[in-house]
Chain A
Amino acid sequence: MTWEESAITLTVLLPLLGAVAVALVPKRNEDYAKTLALLISIGGFALSLAILVGYDWGARGLQYQLNVGWIEAAGINYHVAIDGISLPLFVLSYLLTMLCAIYSFHHIEEPGRPRAFLSLMLLLQTGMAGCFIAFDLVLFFVFWELVLVPMYFMIGIWGGPNRQYAAIKFFLYTLLGSVFMLVAFLAIYFTAPERTFDIVALQQFGAAGEFAAGFQRWAFLGIFLGLAIKVPMWPFHTWLPDAHTEAPTVGSVLLAGILLKMGTYGFVRIALPVLPDAAVEYAPLIGILAVIAIIYGALCCLAQSDLKRLIAFSSVGHMGFVMLGIATLTPIGINAAIFGMVAHGVITGMLFFLSGTIKDRYHTRTIAELGGGMLKTTPRLGFLLGLTAIASLGLPGLAGFWGEILALLAAFNPAPELVEAGWLTLFRVLMVFGAIGTVLTAGYFLWMMQRVLMGEPPQRWVDAKPQDVGSIEWGAWAPLVVLTVALGPLPFLITAVTDADVNAIMTAFGG
């Protein structure tokens, strides 16, 4: 096996083996688990970087491909590969896991138990990364489901007071969606002119119009439900605020940073290319739901009293921009979506880290109890929160801007097939409402900053002298801060990777 063929397998398998190793650390030395998990996650990140470095930027199509039989009786293959669409998310998942491993040195929520916690985190890593490299529907589904279990336990064991409700809601809601998705996968398998789960082959069938329109409509609905719950799209989002509010910091970071993107990625990778006719039919609906999410998410944020819940609801709006980009069915829209996914992963991941540390220092996340003046009591923490919040509201020059503006750009000129179907005006109206959403987003973030960062601090915090950002936290956060700032002036860091493959995949829509 060459490096080219084995790279992905090694990279995805490492955290899985690591999870076992961490679990096997003897109890009396359980703090070694942290070091071990850190080393493994550094190893994983290094491998993902090696893939990045070896990636041929000029080429389009799959690289690092390996396609061997797995369950041959059912036509299921172990088909893994990577392309420009999955590469940014793949690397991001390793980066965030590594940063979470660093952060765990600082803090693991009650009841502690680092071995179990970190083992689950590494297991989660394999599932997340696996989703982005699987090119077989069954393999994809296995990784997709693999993610649920560790996240369920993370929320259910290490979560806040209402953790069990949140964990079960998360688990069952997502599971419900994925069952619909699985049924649709099976239906596609049986309907395809040649029975296969191979995503590349199915994309070719899709492009060649091998699936009847009536069938596509039902199959798309099934996949849509699975993905829409995961994203989550309005109105399937209600598990998200609960899950985030209760989840431990690391859980929230990975949930927002990567798990949500599995849903949006699924649209780009599977739903649109395999079922292009249905995509055109559903696109206006997706666009409308996306813009509702943008406005509605922002309005809900205005009424939140808990900092972490506010950040969670902000994800609803941000994922709305991602879905708006996807709904346009244009290369610009998909590029916008992928940019938005990465930027949201970086920025919102950072915001969840910050809210975890705020809870740790101030013992509350309630905005009113924080009472303002954080720039005085913990100036560095306050500065980082301000910077990240401004990035999150989409200020140009920082990471959050491109995903939003490019999505709006795409919405003004949706795919020719959508224009032919008479949806041009709808999408232009959606674009205007999306732009209005940016004002509301700015509104709730600025208001949050005013209430948390500015003003004179309450006397109790002046007396308590909470510790400012510590060295472990700097270590965990520095890469995210750098990315938040760098992706603003250097957008090619994402689009130069994605553009070729996005253009290729979207030719089906007349782009």
Chain B
Amino acid sequence: MSGAAWLVPVLPAASALVIMALGRKMPGGGAEIGILSLVVSFLLAVGVAIEVFGANVGATTAGEGTAFVHTAAFQLAPIGEGAAIDAGIRVDGLTAMMFLLVTFVSLMVHIYSLGYMHGEERFTWYYAVLSLFTAAMLLLSIADNLMLLLIGWELVGVCSFLLIGFWWESKHNSDAAIKAFLTTKSGDVGLMVGVVALFGQFRTFNIADIFAMVDEGVQAGGAPLSEGLLSFALIALILGVVGKSAQFPLHTWLPDAMAGPTPVSALIHAATMVTAGVFLVARLYPLYSATPAAQATLAVIGAITLLAAGLLALVQEDIKKVLAYSTVSQLGYMVAALGFSYTAGIFHLFTHGFFKALLFLGAGSIIHAAHSNNMRDMGGLAKVMPRTFGTFLVGTLALMAVPPLAGFWSKDEILVEAAAAGGYTGSLVLVLGAIGGLITVFYMTRLLYLVFAGEFRGHGHPHESPPSMTVPLLALAVPSALIGLANLPVAAFQPYAFSAWTMHSLEYWQTHPIEFNLPVAAVAVALAAAGFVAGRALYRSQPLDADDPMRKLGPATRVLEERYFLDHLWTDLITRYIVRDTAGPVAVAVNDRFIDRIVYWVGAGTGRFGQRLYDIFDQKGIDGALHAVATGTWWTTARVRLAQSGNVQLYAGAMLAGVVVLAVVFAAG
């Protein structure tokens, strides 16, 4: 099956082209092509997953062999010095996992959008970009070399831009789209520098080749490995991760990205694209695990992010923004986890993808019914939207890490690994992660009460959404509830578990067993319970606006409402004031009033010099040779004078002077 794995990204890519070319003339507006191609891609992904699973389980049960990897590549272009850009695939556990997650969630979103985007003017365009996004995300997942990965990475970014700005008539939306693109692109400076530096060190983009060289402790040309340069590259890549996976302090674009259609938020800004940074680190995990400085960086960034974003979710009134900050916070968990453990990081990526997609699509269903994003206009929806409520509740419990739902197992694993790692970073992640768990439960309890309990406060009569929307919710609720069991921390089960399926090497799997830590789990559950009790006590009466307890925290509320003032820093101060309104005009002023003036003065001055020569030598008729020179100058000047603008008499004389100077120089030299 892995031989056909290249089809998984190619099918949606082809579908995007077909939709763009023919979609408008098709009865379903092109959606049917997108859905069909994803069904096939999903089935192929299942096939790949089974094949990888079978092979890896063979290795883990036997205790020997290697983790499954299938690679194939052809040269795309030579670039000089024998180096080349390749188009190649690398199918292993990580790829199989991403394939399954991306194709499944994308398929659900494709189906869900039939109802949600029904009647949109640019329906076909929407599906074309959605398919293109899926293809790019799958390309990123299957790439066997960093250049291809970077291409997929940038393409998902542009699709995200196009979809955030889908309703570009409103400046609010296009502002959000630009902010998202530029913020992630700023992070991509790090990605580019990192990829370029890795190429510079190893003279290849191929991930497997780089692993092999690092294993042997060499770099290009057989020289001993420079660990400093490797750390530099890996930390530069982390900047890319911080941008793309919305880590503090570059997370500010993600809540704004909620301006896009809600299914897009589910797919791109919750389940898949934002995990690209996490994926990148996982993909290069053998390098990161050999570089303590880079791992510590990850742990610290992740820990700060998970807490900072969780706090921001407390004061949001827009249901999508609560979920957006929750996503940032959960991404923080993933990044922090990669500071210690490959499996814990990607397992949380996997489970979170399902339940967060479910929550966003549920939110879309709610917004569809209430005609508002604001929780003030909701309330009492549990009664009128039973399916939406039921599935949303499953997603919420999974996010709250209530056992035995998906989020419990994956989040617990992160805390266990952090506890096991110990040290400053381990303790930091453990403590902040545990507190973050409490905060998560608290803000989700708040959300549940404000949206579903009590009476409806909005306008009109909300009703349950059509089956095209509720069926994907049900389909996503199943893995949200159960997928956590895939990595049950029981020794006898582990050879058949998620950790075996996705392992990057057998040795890693053997030396990093997934374990259960009762004290950690007990504390986490107790904190979650505390969060729920507190949330219920404060929000059972559905306090709104000024009555909201989160608005009565004085300066803390202000800091959170101003989002730590980071938007003022990035958008207002740096982007608008410093770059756009100061640096740009200053550059133009330097250009027009200085550089161009010098050109003018040189020209005009020489022109005047020529005129003077003419006046003196020609008028006074001193000698024949100089007379000729002067005549030449006069001729030029006269030509120039024909031009209406008198200020260009200039350059001709400069030319003459230049010839003389150079002739002298060469004669002398």
In angstroms, Cα B83 to Cα A229, docked, is 33
A interface: dominant SS: helix
Closest B residue, CB atoms, query A436: B189
B77: chain A residues within 8 A (beta carbon)? 402, 490-492, 494-496
Chain B residues with CB under 8 A of A301: 584
Is B168 a contact of A499 with CB atoms below 8 Å? no
In this complex, the member of B181, B591, B647 whose beta carbon has the largest number of chain A beta carbons within 10 angstroms is: B591
Complex Cα spacing A395 to B583, Å: 24
Q: Chain B residues with Cβ under 8 A from A435's Cβ?
A: 189, 192-193, 196
Contact across chains for A431 and B196 when beta carbons are under 8 A apart = yes
**Nearest CB of chain A from residue B230's CB, rounded to whole Å:** 14
- Which B613-669 residues have C-beta < 8 A from chain A? 640, 643-645, 647-648, 650-652, 654-655, 658-659, 662-663, 665-666, 669
- CB pair A302–B79 under 8 Å, yes or no, is no
Q: Complex formed: what's the CA distance from A338 to B198 in Å?
A: 24
Interface segment among B147-155, B252-260, B411-419, B541-549: the answer is: B147-155
Residues 40 to 99 of chain B near chain A (Cβ within 8 Å): 75-81, 83, 85
Bound together, the chains give a CA A332 to CA B170 distance in angstroms of: 44
Instruction: Return chain B residues, CB-CB under 8 Å to A464.
Output: none
Q: Determine whether the beta carbon of A238 is less than 8 Å from that of B579.
A: no
CB-contact partner of A438 in B81, B169, B189, under 8 A = B189
Contacts of A436 in B (CB 8 A): 189
Stretch from B451-459, B531-539, B595-603 at the A interface: B595-603
Q: What are the interface flags for A438-457 relative to B under an 8 Å C-beta threshold, 1 for contact and 0 otherwise?
A: 11101100110010011110
Q: Which residues of A contact B663 (CB under 8 A)?
A: 183
A176, A397, A454: the one within 8 Å of B169 (CB): A454
Q: With a CB–CB cut-off of 8 A, which chain B residues contact A187?
A: 666
Q: How far is the CA of A375 from the CA of B166 in the complex (A)?
A: 12
The proximity string for B residues 563-601 relative to A, scoring 1 for CB distances below 8 Å and 0 otherwise, is 000000000000100011001111110010001100100
Q: Are A492 and B76 touching (Cβ within 8 A)?
A: yes
Whether a CB of chain B sits under 8 angstroms from the CB of A362 is: no
Complex Cα gap A376–B665 (Å): 62
Question: Bound state CA distance, A176 and B188, in angstroms?
Answer: 41
Find the B residue at minimum CB distance from A372.
B171
B262 interfacial contact with A, CB 8 Å: no
A33 within 8 A of B: no
**A18 on the B face (CB < 8 A):** no
Q: Which residue of A lies closest to B659 (CB)?
A: A179
Q: Which residues of B contact A183 (CB under 8 A)?
A: 659, 662-663, 666
Interchain pairs with CB closer than 8 A, number: 199
A332 contact from B80, B182, B586, Cβ within 8 A: B80
Bound together, the chains give a CA A301 to CA B580 distance in angstroms of 10
A238 partner, pick from B75, B599, B658, beta carbons under 8 A: B599
CA separation between A168 and B604, bound complex, in Å?
A: 13
B655 touches A176 (CB 8 A): yes
Number of interface residues of B (CB under 8 A): 68
CA distance A501 to B663 in the complex (A): 35
| Interchain CB contact under 8 A, A438 and B584 | no
Chain B's closest residue to A175 (CB) is B655
Instruction: Tell whether, in the assembled complex, residue A491 and residue B662 are in contact, meaning their CB atoms are under 8 Å apart.
Output: no
Is A111 an interface residue, CB under 8 A from the partner? Answer: no
A residues contacting the other copy or chain, number (CB 8 A): 78
The CA of A409 and the CA of B193, in the complex, are separated in Å by: 9
Question: Is A502 an interface residue when CB atoms closer than 8 A count as contact?
Answer: yes
1/0 per residue, CB under 8 A from B, across A341-383: the answer is 0000000000000000000000000000000010110000000
Given known pairs A165-B648, A175-B651, the reply for A238 and B591 (CB within 8 Å) is yes
Distance of A186 Cα from B200 Cα, bound (Å): 40
Complexed CA–CA distance, A334 and B79 (Å): 9
Check if A141 is an interface residue, CB within 8 A of chain B: no
Inter-chain contact A215/B669, CB cutoff 8 Å: yes
Given contacts A408-B196, A432-B193, contact A331 B80 (CB under 8 A): yes
User: CB distance A439 to B185 under 8 Å?
Assistant: yes
B 356-393 contacts with A by CB, 8 A:
none
Within 8 Å of chain B (Cβ to Cβ): is A164? yes
Task: Verify if A52 is at the interface (C-beta below 8 Å from B).
Answer: no
Residues of B within 8 A of A432 (CB): 189, 193
Contact indicator B648/A335 (Cβ below 8 Å) = no
A-B CB contact pairs (8 Å), 29 listed: A168-B640, A168-B645, A168-B651, A173-B651, A175-B651, A176-B651, A184-B662, A299-B584, A302-B580, A331-B81, A373-B169, A397-B151, A405-B147, A405-B150, A408-B192, A412-B196, A413-B200, A439-B182, A439-B186, A442-B185, A446-B178, A446-B182, A447-B178, A456-B169, A491-B85, A495-B78, A503-B81, A506-B80, A511-B80
Given known contacts A168-B645, A456-B169, what 7 new A-B pairs fall within 8 Å (CB)?
A: A165-B645, A169-B648, A446-B178, A454-B165, A491-B76, A495-B79, A503-B80
